[in-house]
Amino acid sequence: MSNEKLPSRAENYSEWYNQVIQRAELADYAPVRGCMVVRPYGWSLWENIQQALDSRFKATGHVNAAFPLFIPMSFLEKEKEHVEGFSPELAVVTIGGGEKLEEPLVVRPTSETIIGYMYSKWIKSYRDLPLLINQWGNVVRWEMRTRLFLRTLEFYWQEGHTAHATAKEAEEETLRMLDIYTRFAVEDAAVPVIPGRKSNSEKFAGAVHSYSIEAMMGDTKALQAGTSHLLGQNFAKAFNIQYLDMNNELQYCWTTSWGVSTRFIGAIIMTHGDDQGLILPPRLAPIQVVIVPIYKNDEERARVMPVVDKIRAALGSIRVKVDDRSELTPGFKFNDWEMRGVPLRLEIGPKDVEKGSVMAARRDVPGREGKSFLPQENIASSVGALLDTIQSSLYEKARAFRDSHITDVTNYEALTTAVQDGWAHAWWCGSADCENRVKEETKATTRCIPMQQPGGTGKCAVCGRDANEKVYFARAY
């Protein structure tokens, strides 16, 4: 625990990010290279993300299950494109119980293959469809360059896997989940995202189409914050997922998969944080309100604490923490909770007791501008309204920042300039050659072909050929 100043985001964004995570006690480095330990405060944030997503999944008919961590190597090899896409990232077990295994086992990088195998056993008739299953768990991908939450060897996520009777139903499911992710990001995390389709070179290994939500971080880099994949019949054919249709004819299913991971915590940190530390959106914050009692002696404490207890009780279902650490100064506590990103601080001292009020300090508005007196009467409704204001204010601020760093470009020179400190929105012919040129010369990639298109046609900003769609180019995490 330290009140030492953080490096500013402007001077060293990467170091600011790493220090915020550790000093706010979200996570720490594990003894295994590239792995992290998620600490209770970070896990509580992840639990709130889980709950927000899980309730949306269940409202659309999805159910949760659990599948094994170990996958036979032969399963991955059944879908050629899939194993090629993942082979450099695989962790493989060759010895178990002191004996060499007959077949190596892969520690799951994702579960399409083993779930596909189970679906082939469970699905027999059109009456078994659609099958809509999600699992919450951990996966392992042997990344070379790692960063807490954003890219670690082991991470936590949810992965949905569904099977459908028709291509149309599978496509509808893929887009439904993309919309759920979009609404979660906007409504719960206050993170503005752009939903769109991935280019062929950026899509998931084994998918027909991949869709993603793309978010702009505080350093203007892009972050892929969630993905939804239309797998077509690729995995159904590899794993023989078939059903008898209404005419008693055997058909292959159409499948999808979709996921959001602990990477989203990184998105929240980098979208909202400032030079004082985290700023957490109220709907997901583990602690929404911290109450700091202020007193100089036992007599003042005896007057202040009953009011603190009364206010805490009155706040009901709001997530509240009372910081009554007597060995620390109020100033130290203020800095500590600012570092942890608690949306609202309530200060209660002897004068507040006399006046029947509390001092409220918003985390998202620094200094005096963010402070106001609230009457103790009806405190729950006024605090609730203030939390709603903070939530919407965080979203609007992030959206304004993003939009001010997106440039509509019409030629290659403008594109290369735009991606130095922001995103370029450009017509693109769809050619992998144009995509590769941008990547090699600027390190920017196509982030997504947004669902909202202007219509009509234009000229590719890279090569000048005819183009039917606009795309976002940006450097990314």
Give the mean model confidence (pLDDT) for residues 439-447: 98
Task: Check if the beta carbon of residue 206 is closer than 8 Å to that of residue 236.
Answer: no
What's residue 277's pLDDT? 98
Q: Tokens in use for 4?
A: 């030492």
Residue-level pLDDT at 372: 97
User: Domains in the chain and their CATH numbers?
Assistant: 13-272 (3.30.930.10), 289-387 (3.40.50.800), 406-474 (3.30.110.30)
Q: What is the pLDDT of residue 3?
A: 67
In the chain, the percentage of residues whose pLDDT exceeds 90 is: 95
| pLDDT reported for residue 85 | 78
Q: Looking at the whole model, is its pTM more than 0.85?
A: yes
Q: How many angstroms separate the CA atoms of 41 and 53, rounded?
A: 19
Distance, CA of 298 to CA of 325 (rounded, Å):
14
Peptide bond between residue 130 and the one before it cis (omega within 30 degrees of 0): yes
Mean pLDDT value across the chain:
97
Find the helix or strand (DSSP H, E) in which 13 lies: helix 13-23
Kindly report, residue by residue over 167-190, the tens digit of the pLDDT. 999 999 999 999 999 999 999 999
Both structure tokens of 171 = 């496509």
Closest listed residue to residue 334, CA positions, set 298, 286, 385, 370: 370
Range name among 45-59, 71-85, 279-293, 310-324 with the lowest pLDDT average? 71-85
Asked if 238 contacts 78 with a C-beta cutoff of 8 angstroms, the reply is yes
202-230 average pLDDT score: 97
| Whole-number pLDDT of residue 2 | 56
Q: How far apart are CA 209 and CA 371, in angstroms?
A: 49
d(CA 373, CA 139): 47
What is the DSSP code string of 225-286? EEEEEEEETHHHHHHT-EEE-TTS-EEE-EEEEEEEETHHHHHHHHHH-BTTB----TTT-S
What is the three-class DSSP state of 464?
Answer: coil
Q: Is the pLDDT of residue 149 over 60?
A: yes
Question: For 451-474, what is the mean pLDDT?
Answer: 97
Helix (H) / strand (E) element for 42: namely helix 40-59
